[in-house]
Structure formats: C-alpha cells, structure tokens
Structure 1
Amino acid sequence: MSAVLQTFDLSKSFGGITATDHVDFTLAKGARHALIGPNGAGKTTFVNQLTGVLRPSSGRIELMGEDITALPREARVKRGLARTFQINQLFGTMTPLEMIALVTSERLGRGSHPFRALDRDLELVGQTAEILTRFRLDDIMDRRIATLPYGKQRQIEIAAAFAARPSVLLLDEPAAGVPEAERRELMQTVAALPDDVSVLLIEHDMDLVFRFATRITVLVNGRVLAEGTPEEMARDSSVRAAYLGEGAHA
C-alpha cells in the first residue's frame, strides 16, 4: 500500500531532553494504525510535530509525498491532515448541526456564516446531513453541544475533523473519559470511515487498540521500539516488557 504520511529521522529536543529520537514512520493509505507507548514515550510530541504545533529539531515530514516540515498548521489542514485533541476543541454554545455546517462551509469556500445558507445551499445541506448521519448525530443535531454527554462531544469533534475531508485523521486518545458503551460505538464509527481516510490513533486503552488497529507502532523513550500487526506486538517480548506487561493479550 502507498504511504500517505511519512517521517524521516524525525527528532525533537527540549534543552537536554530528547522527546522524539530519529523516528522513521509510515502511515499507509487506508490504514487503521495505532501509536502506543508508556507515559513520556513522546507520542504527543510526535503528533504535535506532524500537525505543525511543534517544529522538529531535525528530520523531515511528508504528506502525500510533499515535504510539509516547515508548513504552518492551517496549510497542513488544507492539504488533508486533520486531528482531534485529548481535550475537546468545540464551541459549546453551538449545536452539532451548526458545528458540522461551519467546518463544511469553510471547506467548500462558503465563508464563516453557513447558517444563512442552510435553507438554500443544497451541497452544504447534503454534505452536513451525510456527516451527521454517519456519526449518528441526527437525533441530537439541534441540542447545544455543552449539554450533551461527553461521549457524544467526542463523537462531534471527530465528525468535525472528518468534515474537513482529510486524507489523514490523527486521533489523540479519542476514547479517554468516555463510558465503555459509548466508546465501542465511537470506535466502530471511526473504523467504518471510508478507505481513503487513513487513521492514526494515539491511545492507552489496549483492548480498544487491539480491536481497532490493523498495525501498531510502539514508541518508547522517543524511539520506535517495534512495529507490526496487533498479533505480532502481543507476542513481542520487548514490547511486553516495555509496555504491555506479561498479561497482555490480543
């Protein structure tokens, strides 16, 4: 499978601390890929470099074969790289309908006031409705986001990222704090996204990782310790010793 996102020799240092250490990484087209590792492994620093929050100390990042290492965040989003955060980045006074319509309108070049056009812009209406349906938000689309359960808020944030039509979607612990029943529904929805959306999941919940991912990269002390299928990672003694523990299972 062709690569949509790659890093080459990517490193980031803060003073005398090396957070990511010569990381070579490839995300394949259509992948359901998980990045795991203990606290302090460098996962968030790595993702922040991918998305332009942090500038690497050295190395290169490519998106669809283009060097994006020096590009600002907004330019990366326009080229198809979207993310969610550990803490929701939502407008609590909006409804899911308004939130999705806003992102969709920006992508379609309709400006930042989509609500005036919702009754006459058929393309905007159609795409917004499709996303609300895909993420099972139809029945709550007119409720204020701040009043909704946390699991639904996480689902809305992923839906909003998807509304940007990314080729790469980075999910930073999307299920953290979400009840188990809602967590399963959330990840089933993500797993069912179109094949042209490649997903990189950063997550601590190993049961969720093994259910979702078809490939796993293990980061320890800023370096890639191992990479492979969930079954390979569960059997890898170095991974078990560093992170999963002897009781790990696929």
Structure 2
Amino acid sequence: MTAVLETRHLNKTFGGLKATSDVSFKLERGARHALIGPNGAGKTTFINLLTGLIKPSSGDILLDGKPITGLKRESRVQRGLVRTFQINQLFGQLSVVESLALVIAERRGHGWNMFRGLSRLKGLDREIADLVSDFGLDTVAEDRCCDLPYGKQRLLEIAMAIALKPRVLLMDEPAAGVPEADRQEVLSRLAALPSDVSILLIEHDMDLVFTFASRISVLVSGALFAEGTSQEIAHDPRVKDVYLGGGHHD
C-alpha cells in the first residue's frame, strides 16, 4: 500500500500550548481510517492543519508524495483534498439540486456564473441525478437546504464533497446530531462511498468507528498514542484506559 496523504513530524503550538506534537501519520490509498481520541486531544487541530485552515509551526504535509504544507485551502481542494465539517456548511436558500450544481460548476471552473449557463454544462444533469440517487435525496431534490431534515442535510453535505471528485475525504463527525431514526441511512451511505476515495474519519461514536474503519489512530494530548487495525485498537488495554472506558468491543 502507498500513502496518499502523509504528515512528517507535524507540530502546532499556540503560545505555550503544543496542540499537535510531532505527528507522523500516513493515510493509505483507498483506506477507511478513523482518528479518535478524548476531548481536547487535538483532532480538529490536526484536520485544520491538513486542510490548510491553520499553518503548522513545523513539519511537512504531503499529498501523493508532493508537499502541500504551504498551499492555500482552495489549492488543496483542487488537488483532491476535501473536508466535511461537524456543523453543516450548506447554502440554506438553495435547493438540493442547485447546491450540487453549484459545486460541480465550481469544480469545472464556472463558479457563481453557472446559473446563467447551466444548460450548457454538458453532463451536469446526469451527474446531479447520480448524486441525488446515490445519497437518497430523490424525495427532497427540489427542497431548500434549510428545510431539509437534519439527516438529509448531512447526506447532502457528503454528496457535495463527493461532487468535488476528492482523492482524499476528511470527515468530521458525519453522524453528529443525526436523529436515531435517520442514523442507519447515513451509516449505509457512508459504507457505500466510492472505494477509490481514501477516507479519514473523525468520530466519537465508537460503534460507527469500529463498523466503518479498518485502521484506527488514537490521538492523545496532540500526539499519536496508538495505531493499528480496528481489532488491535479494540483490544489494546492502553486505549481502553485512556479513551474507550474498558470492556467495550471485546
């Protein structure tokens, strides 16, 4: 296996606080990898470093073996590094179809002018239709984002991320806040994501983590504490003591 995303000795300091401490991490191509850790472990800081939201104090980030440490967020997205957020980042007044059309048009370089030439974007209707179907959005395709049930909002955000054609998808708690009645649909759609997209999942829900991920990294106090297969992490007594609470997933 080869790493599609890698960090080497990544550090981030805020004043006297070391939020990320010498993290060397690899996301293998096609992986289903989870990043877990207690509150305050530095998971969000790490993802913000990967996506360019904040700059590291030292260390390197590589995508497909090429350094991206100094690139802006937009450039990282263009190179295939895409993120979903814990809190939805949707266009509230646009419909599902319009939101997907906007993302696809932006990816193709048409930007906000896409509504004036929507009919000229070859293949757009088919691509939108496929995304709507793949993510179970058929019944709400013409509804405004702000009117969608929360579970559908989460699915739309993931669909919009996939519309960007990512090679690497960073997912920040995709099931957070989703009602139990809608949760299974979100989980099944996650399981069906394209196999050629390498996924790093941040999640507190251990049932989701151990169902979805084949490999897990544990972050504690900004440093990598443990890493291994889901079974190795589930049976690691150090991880149970620090995070899992002991006795679960035996």
TM-score (norm 1): 0.96
Task: Report the residue type matching 1:186 in the other structure.
Answer: V
Distance 2:10 2:188 in 1: 32
- Aligned equivalents of 1:182, 1:228: Cα separation in 2: 30
Q: Distance in 2 between matches of 1:193 and 1:64?
A: 20
- 8 Å Cα contact 1:30-1:196 kept in structure 2: yes
Retained in 2: the 8 A contact 1:102–1:113? no
Distance in 2 separating the partners of 1:168 and 1:52: 14
Q: Residue 85 of structure 2 aligns to which amino acid in structure 1?
A: F
Alpha-carbon distance in structure 2 between the residues aligned to 1:218 and 1:180: 26
Which residue of 1 is the match for residue 15 of structure 2? 15
Question: Runs in 1 of length 4+ with deviation above 3 angstroms?
Answer: 115-122
Which residue is 1:134 aligned to? 134
Equivalent residue number for residue 93 of structure 1: 93
- Matched letter for residue 234 of structure 2: A
Amino acid at match of 1:196: D
Inter-partner Cα distance in structure 2 for 1:4 and 1:190? 20
Q: Is the 8 A contact 1:11 1:23 kept in 2?
A: yes
Aligned to 1:235: 235
**Counterpart Cα distance in 1 of 2:184 and 2:9:** 35
Query: RMSD over aligned Cα, in angstroms?
Result: 1.2
User: Following the alignment from structure 2 to structure 1, what is the Cα–Cα distance between the partners of residues 121 and 46?
Assistant: 39
Report the TM-score, using the length of structure 2 for normalisation. Answer: 0.96
User: Once the 2 structures are TM-superposed, how far is the Cα of residue 189 of structure 1 from its aligned partner?
Assistant: 1.2
Structure 1's unaligned 5+ residue stretches are: none
User: Cα offset for 1:111?
Assistant: 3.3
Q: How many residues align?
A: 250
User: 1: CA distance between counterparts of 2:30 and 2:102?
Assistant: 26
Which residues in structure 2 correspond to 1:61-80 (within 5 Å)?
61-80=61-80
CA distance in 2, matches of 1:208, 1:59: 31
Which residue of structure 2 lines up, in the alignment, with residue 39 of structure 1?
39
CA contact (8 A) 1:32 1:191 kept: no
For structure 2, the 5+ residue unaligned runs are none
Deviates more, 1:43-52 or 1:187-196: 187-196
Identity %: 59
Shift of 1:120: 4.7
